[in-house]
Copies of this chain bind each other. A is one copy, B any other.
């Protein structure tokens, strides 16, 4: 992984759909070698995939909540069940296990307050190991 690979990564991170010929020109390579580098970065897992960035409001995900969650039990089974259940929901935009307390940080993206209340009540509070949740509502997403 050299300077050129870094340059390729920086460009693809912001312009994920750039044509290979244009990418090659930006990093001072011809298209052949440039494509080989991109494919190697993909194969080695440095590039994990490509995604369109969607306006959350346009698809009913304009209401975002930061959620702190504490569990009551930490046996492997409880932890796995909690993580898998939560990660499977489309409403869960982000899920991190933390050191210390709270045990988890979750970012939820739903349409509105009502949808949030429903999601919390029906899909989070009902998970067996969940002990405590604490919500903080986002006013504005400044950077993502």
Contacts and interface: CB of A to CB of B under 8 A. Distances in A.
Interface of A: 1, 6, 9, 12-17, 45-55, 58-59, 64, 66, 83, 86-87, 92-100, 102, 105, 136-144
A77 to B, nearest CB: 16
Q: Is the interface of A mostly helix, strand, loop or mixed?
A: strand
Contact of A96 (B16, B49, B83, B140): B140
A121 to B, nearest CB: 20
B50 A52 contact: yes
Given A17-B16, A87-B142, A140-B97, A53 B48 contact: yes
A126 to B, nearest CB: 19
Contacts of A55: 45-48
Nearest to A51: B16
Contact of A13 (B17, B52, B97): B52
A55 to B, nearest CB: 5
